[in-house]
Amino acid sequence: METSTYDVGGMSCDGCVSKLSTALENIPGVKSSNVEVGKAIIDHEGDLNEEISAAIVSCGFTVGSDFSWSDSAVWKKSAHNTKWCLIGCSIGDFGTIAFFQFVYTDSGWSTMSIMILAIINGLLTSIALETVILSKQMGLFEGFKVAIGMSFISMIAMESAMNITDYLMTGGAMLTLWAVPIMLIVGFITPWPYNYWRLKKYGVSCH
């Protein structure tokens, strides 16, 4: 009996774990497997490295933990994910700023208070939108967990970048025709490298 440990790239959720566990345990000679996100520990008889590696790859994952920033397919996919995060954040963020700018103009709220509320609302609408999108792939509850866990850092970075840009350009919480495009560009670019890293290292198979 031998025990082998494999680093597995491209895993991000319980569905990945279940998928790989099933594939490994169907290999003749494998006695048991203990799979978690990013790693598989396998008890087996004989040299099964080729069979185990093939099973991992067939599930859409990668063997080993090599990382590079030159995967154009992942850049494209992470850009798509970042786009949806930006749309979700902008709905709540811009909606809040527009409310205080055009409707509740004499609220007495400070610029900082409005921006904090805009960030909170942007996070909420982005989580809601991503949960709906992800639920089509992995169920509502699992989609919510992934949206909270995997995307939250991206959302915070995006929201902070957009509101800081707004303040530097307009001196307050304001939407103008010349500021909004720049806010969107900065909001997109800021979390994009993180989203690439996260997708490349953990989530290639789930998106």
pLDDT attached to residue 150 = 62
Per-residue pLDDT of 55-99, as tens digits, reads 998 998 888 766 778 777 778 888 988 999 999 999 999 999 999
Q: What is the DSSP letter of 202?
A: I
Provide the residue ranges of all domains of the chain, joining segments of one domain with +.
Answer: 2-63, 72-201
Cα 183–184–190 angle (5° rounding)?
A: 85
207 compared with 34, residue with greater pLDDT: 34
Q: What's the CA gap between 118 and 5, in Å, rounded?
A: 46
Residues with Cβ within 8 Å of residue 156, at least 6 apart in sequence: 119, 123
Say if CB 9 and CB 204 are below 8 A apart: yes
What does the longest C-alpha to C-alpha distance in the chain come to?
76
Q: What's the CA gap between 104 and 144, in Å, rounded?
A: 32
Partnered with residue 7 across adjacent β-strands are 39
Per-residue pLDDT of 32-66, as tens digits, reads 999 998 889 999 998 898 999 899 989 988 887 66
What are the angstrom distances between the C-alpha of 141 and each of 21, 91, 137? 22, 23, 11
pLDDT attached to residue 107 = 93
CATH number for the region 2-63 comes to 3.30.70.100
Residue at token pair 């798509």? 80
